[in-house]
Amino acid sequence: MDKIKFGTDGWRGVIAHQFTVANVAKVTNAAAIWLLNKFQNPEVIVGYDTRFQGKLFAETVCKVLASKGIKVSISDDFVSTPMVSLAVREWKASLGIMITASHNNYTYSGYKLKGSYGGPLLSEELKNIEDLISAENNLDIDLLNWDNFVEQELIRYADLEAFYTQYIGNYFDLDSIRSAGIKIGFEAMYGSAQKVIKKLLPDARYFHCEMDPTFGNIPPEPLEKNLQELLESMRSKKDLDVTIAVDGDADRIALVNRGGRYIDSHTIILILIHYLANYRKMKGKVVTGFSSTMKVEKLSRHYDLEVMRVPIGFKDICRVMLNEDVLVGGEESGGISIRGYLPERDGIWMGLTILQFMAETGKSLDEILDEIFKITGSFHCVRRDIQIPKDKRGKIMDLCYKGEIESFGKFRVTRIEALDGIKFFFSDDAWVMIRASGTEPLLRTYAEAANREIAEEILEAAGKTIAAIVK
């Protein structure tokens, strides 16, 4: 098989093909070597989500680490990725390992690594571990005895969810949120938020907050196309003020308003900037990914906040959060963090922050959005993923980087920016971006315009241009 590589958000593969017990052992062996080189007495937190055989893979991680004399705390049940990150920082562990493929479909599993600061391991450290992954595997997992490691206190169980719940209860005034009269829904997409949310928001209405390792045969990514059942329910009943939707490992967020309108991460980033800068009078840098709406700049300028654009992948946002005074860090895919928490994405934390905003002000989600759009103007962002062979993806990206594409249909390019992919700007602040995925065999295309119709038209034109190139 191909060499195991870490993408923008860890290593992922199809279960029983690339993602096997043997390969998980290889990656963990490399992580163990890295840990022992870097820390005197390393300790690791391990978690897993609701995917098929998640516990088996997590136990494999634990056994390999324990065989090297590394102490491990494993979650006693499925957990969200932020639960692992929080425990790593607060319990002063050296590393967190989370078995999850996040938003990928049920055939995938994955392996995320979290640094001692409670956020994604940075690129250079991931590269160091990746370089230590050997094609050879001399470990016989079957000979590694779990009970012996437990007796030696190298492996212990930990209730990461209980710790996370207590931490949230100490930060948020959950009673004021519950008593504010906000009618709340929560969409877990069959993922790892399904239990904890019933403790945090016991009066909410729950959608897909039960176990199904196939995720209802829908990728557990809170995109509009994946939330049709929720949207139809909200539109027909109109009895919920807001529904929070998170992905499979609960680190990404989307919202749905009372009328069943989908609110994407671009807009959620703006909501958080507006709340913290306008209502909480907080200052700091705004850090966002290259593919996020340009309205981030417009709203941030209004509040005299500096904006920094970084490559795709939350680890680059995390790096800035570790070294600078960041107010909001967020990416187009729905991963957002704010000052006062971890340098880590957390869909539940961001959802509670927005509920707190609504409870404090007595404003509806639509009233909040009206305030924002008076400053930024209306906009719509769309994304489309195109399946294209790796060799042809390279050809397309080469042409993009060389600046040889002058128009997409009737949309003439006025300027381009390159950071992580290429962004082509048109008139009226519209743009299209083309980028090769770091985790999947895809070419990702993004567009922003004043309304959905124009944004979709731009993407359609971009798709035709790409198709003509690869013929």
Of 164, 188, 208, the residue at which a domain comes to its end is: 164
Q: For residue 27, tell me if it sits in a domain.
A: yes
Q: Region 333-356: what's the mean pLDDT?
A: 97
| pLDDT at residue 245 in the model | 99
Of 376, 404, 431, the residue at which a domain comes to its end is: 376
Report d(CA 282, CA 339) in Å as an integer: 10
| pLDDT at residue 74 in the model | 99
Q: Is 215 left (phi over 0), alpha (psi -120 to 50) or beta?
A: left
Q: Region 31-57: what's the mean pLDDT?
A: 98
What residues pair up with 444 in beta bridges, in sequence order?
Answer: 385, 435
| Tens-place pLDDT, residues 352-387 | 999 999 999 999 999 999 999 999 999 999 999 998
147 and 221 assigned to the same domain: no
Q: Which two tokens stand for residue 33?
A: 């070597």
431 and 365 assigned to the same domain: no
Q: Which of 84, 58, 380, 105 is nearest to 251 (CA)?
A: 84
What residues pair up with 10 in beta bridges, in sequence order?
Answer: 7
Kindly indicate the confidence band of residue 471, based on its pLDDT and cuts at 50, 70 and 90: confident
| pLDDT at residue 392 in the model | 81
Of 326, 348, 376, the residue at which a domain comes to its end is: 376
More confident residue, 3 or 440: 3
Q: Region 66-77: what's the mean pLDDT?
A: 98
| pLDDT at residue 137 in the model | 66
Report d(CA 329, CA 316) in Å as an integer: 10
Query: Considering the chain, what percentage of its residues have pLDDT values greater than 90?
Result: 88
CATH code where residue 420 lies:
3.30.310.50
Q: For residue 2, tell me if it sits in a domain.
A: no
Report d(CA 187, CA 134) in Å as an integer: 40
**Domain count for the chain:** 3
* pLDDT greater than 70 at residue 433: yes
312 and 278 assigned to the same domain: yes
Q: What are phi and psi of 438, to 5 degrees?
A: -90, -10
Count Cβ atoms within 10 A of the Cβ of residue 398 and give its class: 0-12 exposed, 13-18 middle, 19 or more buried: exposed
Q: CA neighbours within 13 Å on the CB side: how many for 304?
A: 3
For 284-337, the DSSP string reads -EEEEETTS-THHHHHHHHTT--EEEE-SSHHHHHHHHHHS-EEEEE-TTS-EE
* pLDDT greater than 90 at residue 162: yes
| Tens-place pLDDT, residues 441-469 | 789 999 999 999 999 999 999 999 998 88
Q: Region 340-351: what's the mean pLDDT?
A: 98
217 and 354 assigned to the same domain: yes
Report d(CA 271, CA 131) in Å as an integer: 41
- Please give the residue range of the domain that contains residue 122: 11-164
Q: Region 168-195: what's the mean pLDDT?
A: 97
| Tens-place pLDDT, residues 12-28 | 999 999 999 999 999 99
Amino acid at site 379: F
Q: Is 151 left (phi over 0), alpha (psi -120 to 50) or beta?
A: alpha
* pLDDT greater than 70 at residue 439: no
384 and 342 assigned to the same domain: no
| pLDDT at residue 1 in the model | 55
| pLDDT at residue 282 in the model | 98
CA dihedral 138, 141, 146, 151 (to 10 degrees): -10
Mean pLDDT, the chain, whole residue set: 95
271 and 341 assigned to the same domain: yes
Q: Region 45-63: what's the mean pLDDT?
A: 98
CA dihedral 226, 387, 191, 163 (to 10 degrees): -130
Q: For residue 290, tell me if it sits in a domain.
A: yes
Report d(CA 308, CA 302) in Å as an integer: 15
What residues pair up with 281 in beta bridges, in sequence order?
Answer: none
Q: Region 289-310: what's the mean pLDDT?
A: 97
| pLDDT at residue 388 in the model | 84
The pTM is what? Answer: 0.94
Q: Work out the angle at residue 186's Cα, subtended by the Cα atoms of residues 184 and 188, and round it to the nearest 5 degrees.
A: 175
146 and 278 assigned to the same domain: no
Query: Considering the chain, what percentage of its residues have pLDDT values greater than 70?
Result: 99
Are 348 and 197 in contact by the 8 Å Cβ rule? The answer is: yes
Q: What are phi and psi of 189, to 5 degrees?
A: 55, 35
421 and 321 assigned to the same domain: no
CATH code where residue 344 lies:
3.40.120.10
Q: Region 103-116: what's the mean pLDDT?
A: 97
204 and 145 assigned to the same domain: no
Q: What are phi and psi of 380, to 5 degrees?
A: -145, 135
Q: How many residues does the chain have?
A: 471
What residues pair up with 97 in beta bridges, in sequence order?
Answer: 46, 113
Q: Region 385-399: what's the mean pLDDT?
A: 84
Angstrom CA distances, 445 to 255, 276, 416, 421, stand at 22, 31, 15, 10
Are 78 and 249 in contact by the 8 Å Cβ rule? The answer is: no
| pLDDT at residue 107 in the model | 98
Report d(CA 336, CA 247) in Å as an integer: 13
Q: For residue 393, tell me if it sits in a domain.
A: yes
Q: Region 337-366: what's the mean pLDDT?
A: 98
